[in-house]
Structure 1
Amino acid sequence: MRALTPRVASVLSYGFALLLGAVLVAATFPIDFLLPHAGIDWAPQGDAAQHAIAQRYFLGDDWRWPPLMARNILPPDGLNIAFSDGIPLLALVLKLLRGTLPEGFHGIGLFYGIAWLAQPAAAVWCLRGTGEKRVLPAVAIALAAASMPAFINRYGHAALTGHFTLLIALGFYLRLVRVPSPALWAGAVVAAVATLLVHPYLAAMVLALLGAAPATLLLRSDRRWMGAATGFCAAAGAVLATMAAFGYLGARGDGGFGDFALNLLSPFWPHRSGLLPGLVSGEIDATGHGGWEGYNWLGAGLIAGMLAVVVLMPREAARVLRRHAGLALVLFGLALLAVSFRVGVGRLVVLDLGPAPGFLEQFRASGRFFWPVGLALLVGSVALLARVPRFGAAAVLVLGLLQFADAAPNRAAIRDWAAARTAWIVDAAALRRLLAEADRLTLLPTWTCIPAADAFGDHARQLQVLTLAAERPVPVNSMYVARWRGERPPCADSATIATPLEPGELRIILPGARAEALARMPAAATLCSPVGDILACRLSPR
């Protein structure tokens, strides 16, 4: 049979990947999840609610500088939506199109669809960077990449489903160590900046992968390493310049590097494995924080493929490892960063190196840094196994099918999460009517004043009130923020409670502030009315 032409093979490879992604999106995410609007009768939860609130406020605001500011959150200074994971790259595009969008639209659900569509296609592009351009290996890696457990398990945090950015960066690396041209580096610079505007964690990983290109060339004694180093500096400089221009610099998180680390058993711990069901009951964790951020089960298909490579072609694997020594060193460094300074094996911390340097405190969820390692193992295993004479292409197809079957429980879990329609715990209809008449919202207690142990009390109520306020959006004094410019603001609710209500102000008192408000707020007894288990206070309808 005549071999396929390169063009036909390319079309079939990318066509299958995009079709697979589209089918998975349609089978996983309901339409009202992908394309939300104001007035829905169910309440978004947790981090997903935070991201949607931030993006809604941004889309409803004027264009400002820095470009990511939403001034109606925490006025008068406002909030940079990057600090509440509002996916700035998508938010900027949607803001250009907002005149055509439904009222109350946000793109958080839409980004899941984009990521799931892009993941298999980006994997094909990455694999072709190894020189492997046949259709069967492309089908295999599309199936396997769409089934990586760490990718699927990102529900609740839309931006971090952007693992396709890591595959794109790895694809650039593979091409840049062959032909480090200025055009390729220009593309890599754009990819790095775009990834920053998806999520800073992903941008750090992308820069690490791009930095492997000059390192590999240097270790090969290839003089082109200096040009590659210049290209990498351009990428890092562009990311830093974007951070400065878009207001990222000076942000601080809550610290705790190592709390959400990679357990050394995690890549081989088959939680939610479809082919090894019931072997374990949950994530493995030694730090006492649950193990979710460190979840990195590689998948039965990938592990089988890695074992096949070791058995069938150990010399070729060792040669490729030496050939890409710079990448191997970078991936090893990322793995160490993922493990953190508190090394967990199973339920035990076997090595504690003490406090980490201050700059690492920005990366509390260090377990995420293993993602590029898992993806590189996948690409390398498929590329190597496909080279086995006679049955290599068929073997990698089996790898992809095994990985896809093994991921069935993970796909079911995210499908159930996306289809969940959680009831409001506040009176949404009544609050929508009150918010429609308000010029601004004062929400008490503010986020920084709610005790951390109250995650399912006033934290949940506040997110729901903010979700409703964001539909217009109404200026509000409180927000769930992942990072702050400078120090985390102190709790100052007592002073706010003691001030009289102003015209146009709607003051919502959650149970945690109710007693103090009734005791200290001027005219609280006459101006406040119960709305379910919260109080709504105002002078009069506008």
Structure 2
Amino acid sequence: MGEAGAGTQRIAPAAAAPERTLAPGAAAALAYAAAALLGGALALALLPPDFLLPEAGRPWKPVGDAAQHIVAQRYFLRDPAWHWPPLLAPHLGTAEGGTNIAFADGIPLLALALKPLAAWLPPGFHGIGLFYGLAMLAQPLAALWCLRGSGERRLLPGLGAALAAASMPAWLNRYGHAALMGHFLLLLGLGLYLRLVGRQGARLWGAAAALAVAALLVHPYLAAMVLALLGAVPLTRLLRPGAPGVGAALAGCGAAGATVLLAMAAFGYLGATGEGGYGQFAMNLLSPVWPHRSGLLPGLVAAEVDATGHGGWEGYNWLGAGLLAGVAAALLLRPRALAVTLRRHAGLALALLALTLLALSHRVGAGSAVVLDLGAVPAVLGQFRASGRFFWPVAYALLIGVVAVLARHPRRGLGAALALAVGLLQFADAAPLRAALRDWAAARPGWTLDAPALRALFARHARLTLLPSWSCIARGAERDYAEALEALVLASETALPVSTMYVARWRGAPPACRDAALAAAPLGPGELRLILPGAVAQALPLVPRAAERCVALGEAVACAAAAAGR
């Protein structure tokens, strides 16, 4: 970005001494090496080895969303066969016909790459921890590549962008959800936008379509954001007086969108629905300047800002002290350059405005109050329940734009120093977020269920009926949720066929609660029926000949046709 777009800039007055610079190839190699070193160092410093490369049989459990993703990917990798759609894990959620791992956020892109290697991977391996490491490595590299698309190719500004991108609060704060740490895809999408507004080409649009599909196979929200950035290309060209290639840009953008639709059809995404609730997890108007978990402004606020009653975590979008300082410096030192940049990238500015409005939702919160409620919204928006996420591309566009504008200060040395300072301040400000991520990855919570006994039982049986099923767990029953997830994690170590699975989306009607029928059915050959504590009172009396076929495992109960002993 910046007023010069992808072109060259005036370097110095004619009388000035020539600047000593590296050859372009050497400078690029040095910049990318530094960015890779930064990303690799972050991954190794924040993520323990057994987190990156896990095995089965550990004395501690994964928790929360990451546990759900682990279960999905393990079942997919352990099944040697391929099915239709290609992301189906038929042994996971057998009572519902299997599970499309995309609906359990199993990071299909990585799962598809790992499946051919599954026979050589350690027992119980999954790629969820590995994805965290890859995302940390890719984040500064993608930021550097994105900045170079603006025409700014010097080392210090590139380091500033890489440091700042690796310290974005909304990125680091997503550590509980592996797929949503794939923000490098947004930076790649923004970098493609910057290149495509400068020149058209089938190769670039092919890369754009491939990136959008890759984003879909990481998480659909990321795909929607990448498509919004690509959609800004024809809009920017249309709004530039006399700019050629609007038709070609529309065709390229349409082809990218059509490719994503084809991928959705092929991989079984079409027809999926979720719980809905657009507006519940929106961004607050104050969120970008609300310094929760700021290292340079500690103690100013105690929690995320929220007006919807849902905690504000999904809408967390603190921009960071470094980026806000950079915005202030650009407004003060280079206001005309900022205005020129906005005019040159008017289509992008409109796309980012639309994403911001989508993030705010129809119930706009400012602080603890809802200041605007537009009433009912179209049903299609229910797919975007966590709408606060849509501000992420806006934050990255601000970052790249501010670094590019500051770097092009007429005094080149000052410009480079300012761009680097943005990154250094942002990195310092993100220290509490890095610490939170490190502590989470290093946590080793013990099993609530009797893991050794269950592992032994799972090894002796051919399938698992788990009660309660996910569709029967009452909203807010956190203990039931956690214990069911524990049982699924243990079963996933060997991919034991299991009756149920928690998914964020499903095709058709939501799974019905059929636990009474499952509990009362005769115990089949090879079946282990595990009744978790929250369902014992309701389900155990229904099990045929329960007194002789069931045993207690702590507060849980295990039943089998041949008595389930330890």
Matched residue, 2:7 = none
The 5-angstrom pairing of residues 334-353 of structure 1 reads: 334-353=355-374
Question: Do the aligned residues in 1 keep the contact of 2:549 with 2:563 (CA within 8 Å)?
Answer: no
Tell me the amino acid that sits aligned with residue 125 of structure 1.
W
Distance 2:563 2:145 in 1: 58
Tell me the amino acid that sits aligned with residue 248 of structure 1.
Y
Matched residue, 2:15 = none
Matched residue, 1:105 = 125
Matched residue, 2:64 = 46
Matched residue, 1:460 = 482
Match of 1:193 among 213, 234, 250: 213
Matched residue, 2:22 = 4
Deviation, 1:59, is 0.5
Distance 1:446 1:312 in 2: 60
Deviations 1:272-330 (A, max 9, x none): 00000001011000000000000000000000000111111111110110100000000
Residue 99 (structure 2) pairs with residue 82 (structure 1): no
Residue 86 (structure 2) pairs with residue 67 (structure 1): yes
Residue 462 (structure 2) pairs with residue 439 (structure 1): yes
Question: Do the aligned residues in 1 keep the contact of 2:363 with 2:374 (CA within 8 Å)?
Answer: yes
Tell me the amino acid that sits aligned with residue 306 of structure 2.
D
Tell me the amino acid that sits aligned with residue 85 of structure 1.
D
Residue 39 (structure 2) pairs with residue 21 (structure 1): yes
Structure 1: which 5+ runs fail to align? Answer: none
DSSP 3-state at the match of 1:361: helix
Distance 1:541 1:160 in 2: 44
The 5-angstrom pairing of residues 514-529 of structure 1 reads: 514-529=536-551
Distance 2:146 2:66 in 1: 29
Question: Do the aligned residues in 1 keep the contact of 2:455 with 2:490 (CA within 8 Å)?
Answer: yes
Tell me the amino acid that sits aligned with residue 89 of structure 2.
A
Distance 1:374 1:45 in 2: 29
Question: Do the aligned residues in 1 keep the contact of 2:216 with 2:223 (CA within 8 Å)?
Answer: yes
Runs of 4+, deviation exceeding 3 Å: none
Distance 1:210 1:138 in 2: 23
The 5-angstrom pairing of residues 114-513 of structure 1 reads: 114-220=134-240, 221-390=242-411, 391-455=414-478, 457-513=479-535
DSSP 3-state at the match of 2:381: helix
Deviation, 1:451, is 1.0
Distance 1:541 1:531 in 2: 13
Matched residue, 2:9 = none
Deviation, 1:541, is 7.3
Match of 1:31 among 49, 69, 81: 49
Question: Do the aligned residues in 2 keep the contact of 1:437 with 1:541 (CA within 8 Å)?
Answer: no
Deviations 1:419-446 (A, max 9, x none): 0001100000000000001110000010
Deviation, 1:181, is 1.2
Deviation, 1:64, is 1.1
Tell me the amino acid that sits aligned with residue 280 of structure 1.
V
Residue 75 (structure 2) pairs with residue 57 (structure 1): yes
Percent sequence identity over matched residues?
Answer: 63
Deviation, 1:33, is 0.7
Question: Do the aligned residues in 1 keep the contact of 2:531 with 2:540 (CA within 8 Å)?
Answer: no
Distance 1:82 1:518 in 2: 33
Distance 1:513 1:541 in 2: 20
Distance 2:540 2:344 in 1: 71
Deviations 1:171-227 (A, max 9, x none): 000000001111111111111111110100000000000000010001114230110
Deviations 1:502-528 (A, max 9, x none): 110000001222122332211011111
Distance 2:377 2:60 in 1: 42
Deviation, 1:492, is 1.1
TM value normalised by structure 1: 0.99
Tell me the amino acid that sits aligned with residue 506 of structure 2.
W
Distance 1:194 1:212 in 2: 19
- 239-248 or 482-491, larger mean C-alpha shift: 482-491
Structure 2: which 5+ runs fail to align? Answer: 1-18
DSSP 3-state at the match of 1:121: helix
Deviation, 1:332, is 0.2
Deviations 1:159-178 (A, max 9, x none): 00000000000000000000
Deviation, 1:358, is 0.5
Question: Do the aligned residues in 2 keep the contact of 1:257 with 1:362 (CA within 8 Å)?
Answer: yes
DSSP 3-state at the match of 1:507: strand
Tell me how large the CA RMSD over aligned residues is.
1.0
Deviation, 1:453, is 1.7
DSSP 3-state at the match of 2:94: coil
Tell me the amino acid that sits aligned with residue 519 of structure 2.
I
Deviations 1:19-59 (A, max 9, x none): 00000000000011111111011011011100000000000
How many residues align? The count is 541
Deviation, 1:497, is 1.1
Distance 2:238 2:166 in 1: 33
Question: Do the aligned residues in 1 keep the contact of 2:338 with 2:405 (CA within 8 Å)?
Answer: yes
Question: Do the aligned residues in 2 keep the contact of 1:517 with 1:524 (CA within 8 Å)?
Answer: no
DSSP 3-state at the match of 2:243: coil
